Structure 1
Amino acid sequence: MKKKLYVFLMIIVWMSAFCVEGLWAETLRVGTKEAPPFAMKDKEGHWEGISIELWDRIAKNLKLDYVFVNQKDIDHLLAGVRDASLDAGIAAITITAPRETVLDFSHSYFTTGLGIAVPKKEANGWVTVMRALFSFKMLLIISFLVLILLLVGTLAWLMERKRNPEHFDPNPIKGIAGGIWWAAVTMTTVGYGDLTPKTMGGRLIALLWMFASMLLVSSVIATVASTLTLAKLEPEVSGPNDLAKIETATIASSISDKYLRERHLRYVYYDSVDAGLKGVKNGEVGAMVYDEPLLKYTIMKKFSQSLMVTDALFENQNYAIAFPEKSPLREKVNRELLKIIHSQEWQHILHKYLGT
């Protein structure tokens, strides 16, 4: 009896293995879409990119036969995976809680976030200059100078008020005011000569102040010049908090679409990253919000002279391969995926497309 049971179990195991091998022996339909630099077509129409090369290596290691099936957009791609007309989906697909309820995902192979593409142009005019001059940073510099002049002027008055009353009035208000005037003209190297220290202490303060003034003035000039330059180059939008000021471009059904909609921000849809960035360049919208690596790659290739991506990275995302629920492929793919992304070969792939 035990022998028969053993034979029966072996037959079931063999048949299960045969079924799985039979499934994988078929040509898999892998859905993808244009998402440079993760999935894109070369001049000959062949698929390439970070995600494409990852799948190529996984399939090679697992000896899978497959064909890439181009999808119009992310909605069609995920729908095809969900109804199992596609065996897998790969491009720049972000793992989200709603998607996880109807799909299965591989381990994440790339972590990124949303970025903001803005015009790279120099702003001119008196408005920009005045705004920079009356910025918080400039007010701090002016306040610091006033305090220094007050300190030096008061010290000079304390030294000179008794022995040099004709130049530094003994009256505190008049005397300190005169001291501040003397400190200011000395700092700017004008030196009218109407007020001159005569005591040893006063002259020592004057000597130290002359040398300190040279360093102070050069530092202030450098800071002011830097502030004005940055004001001319700094875009109107530098982070997500600035998006309320403008109308923004994005792509429908994307993570950026969800982000903008939930915050009730003004935005318009474009069919692709390329089209959205053209809208920013042409002044149709003030910025584009989308996955940062896709923005950076497209700008590097086509808009490097006119657009830039801000330093702000927000709404972290994890890219993964999508599978129909309970797909027998997922576990095997996960094992190979982990081997690949922890290899030197993966670093070469990333450097090839991202330069990092």
Structure 2
Amino acid sequence: MLGALALAFSLGAAPVLATTPPPPSAVLRVGVADGAQPCSYRERGSWSGLAVELWQRVADQERLPYVLVPGNSAASLLEATRRGDLDVAIGCITVSPERLSTTRFSLPFQESGLGVMTRRNQLELGASLLRALVAPDLIRLLLAYVVLISLLSLGVWRVERNGSNPARWEVGRRRAFALIFQVLATGPGTNTVVVSSRGHTLVFLAYLVRIVTASLLVSYVTLNVVRGNQELSNRNLRNLQDLAGQRVAVRPGTVSDELLRRLNATGLEPAIQLRKLDRITQADALLGSGAVDAVMADDIQLDYLLHQLPHKRYGLALRQLNPQSQAFALSPALSDNQVNRINVALGRLKRDGVVTRLRQQAMNKS
């Protein structure tokens, strides 16, 4: 009887022991996917990107030995992490409700929404440039410049009565004042309108007004004209339902892919035609050749691509769709101590502004 009970106990305990996750290895297996600029990508044999550098900071601070394991996509990394084949999956992995119910995540390190990039209509591009040139901010800046130079010209007129005495110039009083205004506004010829020390002081002030205004104008043109008002690239695309019947490129297994598939499943007619996007940098070739009508991905990825492209043929028709947190995925086999160390390091790096600096560096990297 005792032998039978012992045998039954051992048979009943076996399934419990089989489902217990194995202890994590001393060297963490960290999965990373290529082609997800600026979060993670392989360049000249080395891994780069915001998520890669952030994980390196975490591992250095907590002295966590690890080895990078390449993966095909974020979806494959998540699946391998759930199975315990990977200890950590790094990248700008969106913590969606569907993933949260099946996957263990670290402390979120940033928030990002989804965007849709399309070709810009050349007529709309010209119209957007014209709107930028007649924007109220630019007009106010130019008016302020004219007013300041006019006041300085009036000051020169008054202080030079006993010097160059512009009121007695042969060209007449009005043309004399116009000449002073032109000289102060443009620069050349200042030695012909002033001779007094106070007059030279006013000329110097006019010089300061010119260089400050010129700097502001250059900044305005760079931000609003050269970049071409990228926010509005397609006025006919106001929501995701407007993508019906269009060919949209997405990376397989991403939140963008899942969202469009769910939208098609609601009975959208005609259905959105999904096209495979292996790397975010392929979006230029696909849109340029007319193979797709739009590209959908994280805002951070599309902003990075627009910043890197030498031309301004594309823009974001939609942005900040479904904003959600992004984090690292963690294996259930990781101990609570290891998870806590990773989260503490991420929290420290966020608090110290390191995450923000890494994001800026990744976005500006050419």
TM range (shorter): 0.5 to 0.7
Q: Please give the alpha-carbon distance, in whole angstroms, between the structure 2 residues aligned to 1:123 and 1:248.
A: 23
Relative distance call for 1:303 and 1:278 in structure 2 (3 A) is farther
Q: Please give the alpha-carbon distance, in whole angstroms, between the structure 2 residues aligned to 1:279 and 1:104.
A: 35
Q: Please give the alpha-carbon distance, in whole angstroms, between the structure 2 residues aligned to 1:59 and 1:110.
A: 18
Q: In the TM superposition, what are the counterparts of 1:50-69 in structure 2 within 5 Å?
A: 50-69=50-69
Query: Do the aligned partners of 2:27 and 2:64 also contact (CA within 8 Å) in 1?
Result: yes
Query: Do the aligned partners of 1:117 and 1:277 also contact (CA within 8 Å) in 2?
Result: no
Matched, 1:279 2:286: yes
Q: Please give the alpha-carbon distance, in whole angstroms, between the structure 2 residues aligned to 1:287 and 1:236.
A: 13
Residue identity opposite 1:270 in structure 2: L
Instruction: Name the SS for the 1:59 alignment partner.
Output: helix
| Coordinate RMSD, CA, aligned | 2.8
1:54 Cα deviation after fit: 1.0
Residue identity opposite 1:249 in structure 2: A
More deviation in 286-295 or 310-319? 310-319
- Cα-to-partner distance string for 1:170-218 (whole Å, 9 max, x where unaligned): xxxxxxxxxxxxxxxxxxxxxxxxxxxxxxxxxxxxxxxxxxxxxxxxx
1:351 Cα deviation after fit: 1.7
Q: Please give the alpha-carbon distance, in whole angstroms, between the structure 1 residues aligned to 2:319 and 2:355.
A: 26
Instruction: Name the SS for the 1:92 alignment partner.
Output: strand
Q: Name the counterpart of 2:342.
A: 333
Q: Name the counterpart of 1:93.
A: 93
- Cα-to-partner distance string for 1:42-66 (whole Å, 9 max, x where unaligned): 334x112111111111111111111
Aligned residues, how many?
A: 228
Q: Please give the alpha-carbon distance, in whole angstroms, between the structure 2 residues aligned to 1:67 and 1:111.
A: 27
Higher strand share: 2
Q: Please give the alpha-carbon distance, in whole angstroms, between the structure 2 residues aligned to 1:37 and 1:103.
A: 23
Q: Name the counterpart of 1:37.
A: 38
1:235 Cα deviation after fit: 5.3
Query: Do the aligned partners of 2:233 and 2:314 also contact (CA within 8 Å) in 1?
Result: no
Q: Name the counterpart of 1:145.
A: none
Whichever of the two has the greater Rg, that structure is 1
Gapped regions of structure 2 (runs ≥ 5): 1-22, 125-228, 264-270
Residue identity opposite 1:330 in structure 2: V
1:319 Cα deviation after fit: 0.9
Query: Do the aligned partners of 2:299 and 2:319 also contact (CA within 8 Å) in 1?
Result: no
Relative distance call for 1:103 and 1:291 in structure 2 (3 A) is same
Query: Do the aligned partners of 1:250 and 1:276 also contact (CA within 8 Å) in 2?
Result: no
Q: Name the counterpart of 1:170.
A: none
Q: Name the counterpart of 1:204.
A: none
Residue identity opposite 1:100 in structure 2: L
1:114 Cα deviation after fit: 0.6
Matched, 1:292 2:335: no
Q: Please give the alpha-carbon distance, in whole angstroms, between the structure 1 residues aligned to 2:92 and 2:338.
A: 19
Q: In the TM superposition, what are the counterparts of 1:317-328 in structure 2 within 5 Å?
A: 317-325=324-332, 327=334, 328=337
Q: Please give the alpha-carbon distance, in whole angstroms, between the structure 2 residues aligned to 1:312 and 1:103.
A: 26
Residue identity opposite 1:117 in structure 2: M
Q: In the TM superposition, what are the counterparts of 1:59-138 in structure 2 within 5 Å?
A: 59-123=59-123
What TM-score does the superposition give when structure 1 sets the normalisation length? 0.58
- Cα-to-partner distance string for 1:243-273 (whole Å, 9 max, x where unaligned): 2262222122111112111225332222222
Instruction: Name the SS for the 1:321 alignment partner.
Output: strand
Relative distance call for 1:92 and 1:341 in structure 2 (3 A) is same
Q: Please give the alpha-carbon distance, in whole angstroms, between the structure 2 residues aligned to 1:24 and 1:306.
A: 49
Instruction: Name the SS for the 1:248 alignment partner.
Output: strand
Q: Please give the alpha-carbon distance, in whole angstroms, between the structure 1 residues aligned to 2:70 and 2:77.
A: 8
Instruction: Name the SS for the 2:85 alignment partner.
Output: coil
Query: Do the aligned partners of 2:116 and 2:316 also contact (CA within 8 Å) in 1?
Result: yes
Matched, 1:267 2:268: no
Instruction: Name the SS for the 1:335 alignment partner.
Output: helix
Residue identity opposite 1:29 in structure 2: R
Query: Do the aligned partners of 1:40 and 1:49 also contact (CA within 8 Å) in 2?
Result: yes
Q: Please give the alpha-carbon distance, in whole angstroms, between the structure 2 residues aligned to 1:29 and 1:268.
A: 31
- Cα-to-partner distance string for 1:259-299 (whole Å, 9 max, x where unaligned): 11122533222222223442122111211111111122123
Instruction: Name the SS for the 2:91 alignment partner.
Output: coil
Q: Please give the alpha-carbon distance, in whole angstroms, between the structure 1 residues aligned to 2:238 and 2:63.
A: 47
Residue identity opposite 1:70 in structure 2: P
